[in-house]
Amino acid sequence: QVQLVESGGGLVQAGGSLRLSCAASGRTFTGYAMGWFRQAPGKERNAVAAITWSGINTYYGDSVKGRFTISRDNAKNTVYLQMNSLKPEDTAVYYCVVGSRADGRLWLATRYDYWGQGTQVTVSS
């Protein structure tokens, strides 16, 4: 059974940083893309960042470009999201995603097979 275990969320002041981690287990993830989505109260779930297996291709949502960095360690089946210069509007539940579909559109939710339970990120002003 596939499990995605997220960690690193919490409360931080505006301008601060957090690093999210997501460790995947339960099968072989060779070739799988990994990423993060987020959902704020009353808003739809949107892609934040994603990265292909090779790490060559990445995606960042417009609102996080230049502030967030996604990376992965394939030996550990783990994806990271370094979040800097956090803003109150970054407050949301962040979900780790893993997917095998051969679709270059890393921002599509339907591209991903597995979703984590979510970790809360709260940025105070």
Sheet holding 68-73, edge to edge: 3-7, 18-25, 78-83, 68-73
pLDDT digit string, tens, across residues 59-116: 999 999 999 999 999 999 999 999 999 999 999 999 999 998 778 899 999 999 999 9
Length of the chain equals 125
Q: For position 89, what pLDDT does the model report?
A: 97
Work out the number of other CB atoms within 10 angstroms of the CB of residue 112. 23
Give residue 120's Cα distance to chain centre.
Answer: 12
> Taking 90 as the threshold, does the pLDDT of residue 13 lie above it?
yes
Averaged pLDDT, 35-59: 96
- Cα–Cα distance measured from residue 43 to residue 73, given in angstroms and rounded to the nearest whole number: 31
Q: For position 105, what pLDDT does the model report?
A: 93
Q: For position 104, what pLDDT does the model report?
A: 85
Give residue 110's Cα distance to chain centre.
Answer: 15
Averaged pLDDT, 28-54: 96
- Cα–Cα distance measured from residue 55 to residue 53, given in angstroms and rounded to the nearest whole number: 5
Farthest-apart Cα atoms in the chain, separation: 41
- Cα–Cα distance measured from residue 73 to residue 66, given in angstroms and rounded to the nearest whole number: 21
